[in-house]
Structure 1
């Protein structure tokens, strides 16, 4: 019988375990004596090893066994947790990931590197031969060996009810290997549940009819048991209960009645127990031992307590559902189509003027809004996972550069659209690498300047209206505006006559090809990183702000939208064309009369309450034919911390915009970030204000140079 094994569950969970493993190792480096952290690392390795063997990843299981063996010694106090052990385990974590990537069709993992890591791990053990014990094979219990003998007065007794789904064999899972994993943890007694096995002629060899109840006595916590079932938890009924500690069991077990035990096990419900107890109560009443009311009160008390426990169990049993991201993206697209059709329905109802149809349209609008908000919330993820990735980056890079740097994170619970988070990783990597290389000084320099030799980089996220602010702050040397201006002139980015504010000089670090590094290194100096940051953030419809104090440090703030799927926009018209401006950037709207144009003497500026504001004519920018009205409208928006006006014929009003990407024919039209479908079936282009302003400025500079 050929069964195609689905290993996606293992690889997906293994990647998550590796991420958690990295976090645990970095925490362990700061607290090497923390026993819980050592046990957490050991459990992660043990789970990857056992499940890897079960799903056919024998190479992963064999390699992980080596790391697990060493950490078992650390857990038992045989060897200490040192920086060398942490370094080797982090390298082993990277090697395991490379092996998983290779199994998924990526580049082959470097076996020489694996051998080097194993040799390093074995050199840490008192008996080098013991660290090279035969690794687990897929043919038996992965890594099976004697569990540490638990102290009798500290052991826990767990009752584990494990009932696999009937189709679990189809995923390539062998439940017996999971039971063997439990045997590794301590004294284990297994009872098979066979009441669902049909007659022989009705049996399907690919169907699992058996469940198991396991009574495990071990010096462990519940999480160690859950780790064994981590890859099949969604494919079985799993109930783990701490029956009692050994000593308490010896003191109390004799007093437990059969009905109490059956009730605790869930084999009968309170009603069934009540039915069984009523005859006893009647007999007690008839014997004159107790009154009928007292029996009834006792049964009621039992029922109330049990109902409360049942409700608690039901609440705890609620689980999340894994959904592939492409299915979620498809759902968002469908909701976007629904929002568009709802707007069309509302407009049609208002045009016809039928009251009944208008009421239906209003109700559909309410339901659509709720569906849209709920769907958007599903895509929202906390940013802490992204933040945690940078602990390893700061650790490795600061070591490479001979610096001592501490990374402090806050606001990890802040939520962002999954798409934004996915595209945020690279920009943050560039910013943090720049802070480590250019910002934070070496320990000797910091001491000479009266600073703590250990530098600090703070990574924080906070909500700000419909946006999220992400700040990367260091306490390093800061930015020198004069030096940046001189470098800008040298690179030809600005002319010697240009007068720049301090903030404008700081923003030069995001120009293409700009770098202040004295020499090119593996970390920086080629002038490509920060330019990538600017383009990436603008591609997310975000903005960048830089603040710095020379000698004190630098803060880079990224302002990002909560979601890329829907934005609040301001709908405007030029002739018969519709455009959308992001409402988050819009500050106000003012009128532009022919008299105002004459006063400017041909310059595209307007005086708004004493402030001179330049503006761009949308009609001229996109060569839209027709005659402008006597009084035009200027939408004033904040772009790169400047107030810029955009002249249109008419401001229609606020519009919730479902963003559609432009086709290949418009891939070079970078002044548009997308399009949206209006209620009347028309299309409105969404303007990218940052790029539009930049292109206009570049064209004006070229015209001045040509003149």
Structure 2
């Protein structure tokens, strides 16, 4: 296989995987709303696309399997059979088989045959009339004539005329005649244009919907005429009493033109482009600094133009990398459905904030942690229907996944209404595993966080789903690698909430440049609420108060000079930058506020990765390095100050 063919096959695998996710989502939606005709047609279109493209890229075994699957599903589309749970289950198994054939086209032939046989038996069991015979489709004619012409760019768009003819041949005995009246002289011939039409006579009982199904994806940009075989080709408009509706469609003006087209780009190319944009932003900042130093008006004007263009290029490149949460949420619907069957628990899965976008790199690495958390919710969190009834809860448990923006972060919340975490059981297992001392005095929050330790599990036996203590450790390590934070809350008897706080992007952000003790630092601008003057009563570092009164509300503050162990004398008028994260606020006392800047995030080296107050570094216009403050960590420190003050006041 050539490199081009390999690339085409890889692209097809990716597209087919996404289509299978769409099919699965459609099937599960039909399970709750079986009369949704639009959803049925959407599933059929996805199947048709998987089949057609598969044959084109050499996945013949897959194409044959999907063709039989599509043929069976067509009976449902035509209303010949009813949607049942058993039918949906078999259809989902067929989707799994499609993914297997994508990975290894030669494997699983026996499984394909078995699934198709069971699918056929399921359809036959619900496709019988009162006399026990199959009910034939109504409105069928004994033979028809089909005349069609594809758009001129059909070949360039991947449509295969021979494939359409093969599908028509499957409807019955056919006679095919090519229509060549539009082919120009050879010196004017465009070899990429589809200029031939076809006239096809089909014998047997065929309905107009059978014909339209063949051209389901090309109807908007082709000409199609259908008439009973007894009529002439011009008599396309047949009477309904003759049993076959005549159809004649012509492309609408402008159809077939490129409108909102998309193309696939390799991720490494996007990463390389983002790196180059980052370097451009740094170079632009250096140019801006040089222009200001020179005082040359012409140079300053050019620098401003480059700054504007670099900012536009940065925003465009960033938007290309942003992907909605909906791109990974579809697979979780299937996960919860399968877990419900495996565990014998009734559960529903709800989502909110599907349009919330994250950097592609972040969202790709997020899928596995979310799977582990959802499995834990289903296995450890939700009770059986009997236990829920005894506790006065609905028999059906609920798992909810939501996503929302919070300053410079996206907060992803996974919540269940199950039994909650058992602090006593966690403590006992942690002591048994040597993770804490017998007399250790841990807060409830710290105790809950034990579930993220490697090898920790409250399950006494290993099952297919849990017991090895690996899942939540994977969650912790992956979220840490993304510069994210995990919050865990639980109320016994009422459920558990896991919050993942993740940066919007790992590439470029807007930052607020500050100075502390002569050193420059950057704060993500999206996390900054306001800047105020440090009150004179709080200037002394020996002040008893650690709170500011901001319009009637108390906000804890941190002196960055003390946090960074600065010995240089402070400036006369110190400032306070109020930052927020997940609803909590904290003030940062700084010497000076320099201004806004575009911040190209550079990862810290492994040697410095453990520094808790910093999430990365950036290069400034003069070539110096400024550390980026970790907002979530600083807000957490502020919360500790607030909690300590509350405990002291209570005492």
TM-score, normalisation: structure 1: 0.69
Given candidates 348, 358, 376, the residue that maps to 1:406 is 348
Q: What's the CA shift string for 1:263-304, capped at 9, x where partnerless?
A: x968xxxxxxxxxxxxxxxxxxxxxxxxxxxxxxxxxxxxxx
Q: 2:183 aligns with which of 164, 184, 195?
A: 195
| 8 Å contact from structure 1 (residues 513, 528) kept in 2 | yes
Q: Which residue of 2 aligns with 1:239?
A: 221
| Equivalent residue number for residue 291 of structure 1 | none
Do residues 211 (structure 1) and 195 (structure 2) align?
Answer: yes
Partner residue of 2:472? Answer: 530
- Which of the residues 18, 30, 49 maps onto 2:20? 18
Query: Are 1:180 and 2:122 counterparts?
Result: no
Q: 2:468 aligns to what SS in structure 1?
A: coil
For the 8 Å contact 2:421–2:495, the answer to whether it is kept is yes
Counterpart position of 1:448: 390
Alignment partner for residue 427 of structure 1, among 369, 389, 404?
Answer: 369
> Would you say 1:61 and 2:49 are equivalent positions?
no
Q: Structure 1: how far apart are the matches of 2:398 and 2:592?
A: 51
- Structure 1 residue 507, shift from structure 2 partner: 4.3
| Aligned residue in 1 for 2:246 | none
From the CA coordinates, give the structure whose radius of gyration is larger.
1
In structure 2, how many angstroms separate the alpha carbons of the residues matched to 1:156 and 1:674? 69
Q: 1:628 to 1:10 in 2, by over 3 A?
A: same
Secondary structure of the 1:555 match is strand
Paired with 1:689 and 1:243, the residues of 2 have a C-alpha distance of 65
For the Cα contact (< 8 Å) 1:192–1:211, is it kept in 2?
yes
Q: Tell me, yes or no, if the aligned pair for 2:146 and 2:224 is still in contact at 8 Å.
A: yes
Instruction: Give the helix-richer structure, 1 or 2.
Output: 1
Distance (whole Å) between structure 2 residues aligned to residue 70 and residue 57 of structure 1: 20
- The match for 2:86 among 84, 87, 91 is 84
Deviation at 1:687?
4.5
In structure 1, list runs of 5 or more residues that go unmatched. Answer: 128-146, 230-237, 254-263, 267-308, 696-707
CA distance in 2, matches of 1:192, 1:673: 67
Which position in structure 2 is the counterpart of 1:27?
29
Distance 1:532 1:73 in 2: 44
Match status 1:225 vs 2:207 = no
Q: For structure 2, list consecutive stretches of 5 or more residues without a partner in the other structure.
A: 126-135, 201-206, 239-248, 638-651
How many equivalent pairs are there?
Answer: 597
Give the conservation status (yes or no) of the 8 Å contact 1:194–1:209. Answer: no
Alignment correspondent of 2:150: 161
Pairwise CA distance, 1:641: 8.6
Cα distance change on mapping 1:121 and 1:684 into 2, 3 Å: same
Report the secondary structure of 2:462's partner residue.
Answer: coil
Distance 1:582 1:227, change over 3 A: same
1:393 is displaced (CA, Å) by 0.3
1:498 to 430, 435, 441: 441
Question: In 2 relative to 1, CA 462–156 (structure 1 residues): closer, same or farther, beyond 3 Å?
Answer: farther
- Provide the residue aligned with 2:416 in structure 1: 474
Q: 5 Å matches for 1:95-110?
A: 95-102=97-104, 109-110=107-108
- Determine the C-alpha separation between the residues in 2 that align with 1:498 and 1:583: 38
Q: CA offset at residue 365 of structure 1?
A: 2.2
Deviation string for 1:621-665 (max 9, x for gaps)?
7xx9x8565778887766899878878775544433122345688
Q: Classify 1:379/1:639 alpha carbon distance in 2 versus 1 (closer, same or farther; 3 Å).
A: closer
Instruction: Report matched runs for 1:138-537 at 5 Å.
Output: 151=140, 160-164=149-153, 175-181=161-167, 191-192=179-180, 194-196=182-184, 198-199=186-187, 207-213=191-197, 218-219=208-209, 225-227=215-217, 239-240=221-222, 310=253, 317-481=259-423, 484=426, 492-493=435-436, 496=439, 498=441, 500=443, 503-537=445-479
The normalised TM-score by structure 2 is 0.74
> Structure 2 vs 1, CA of residues 647 and 533 (structure 1 numbering), >3 Å: closer, same or farther?
farther
Q: Distance in 2 between matches of 1:9 and 1:325?
A: 12
Q: Distance in 1 between matches of 2:578 and 2:284?
A: 30
* Helix, strand or coil at the partner of 1:676: strand
Distance 1:352 1:13 in 2: 53
Q: CA deviation at 1:425?
A: 0.9
Check the 8 A contact 1:160/1:215 in 2, yes or no: no
Identify if the C-alpha distance between structure 1 residues 317 and 220 changes in structure 2 by more than 3 Å, giving closer, same or farther. Answer: farther
CA distances 1:171-211 after superposition (whole Å, capped 9, x unpaired): 9x854224434665799986446435524xx989xx44542
RMSD: 4.8
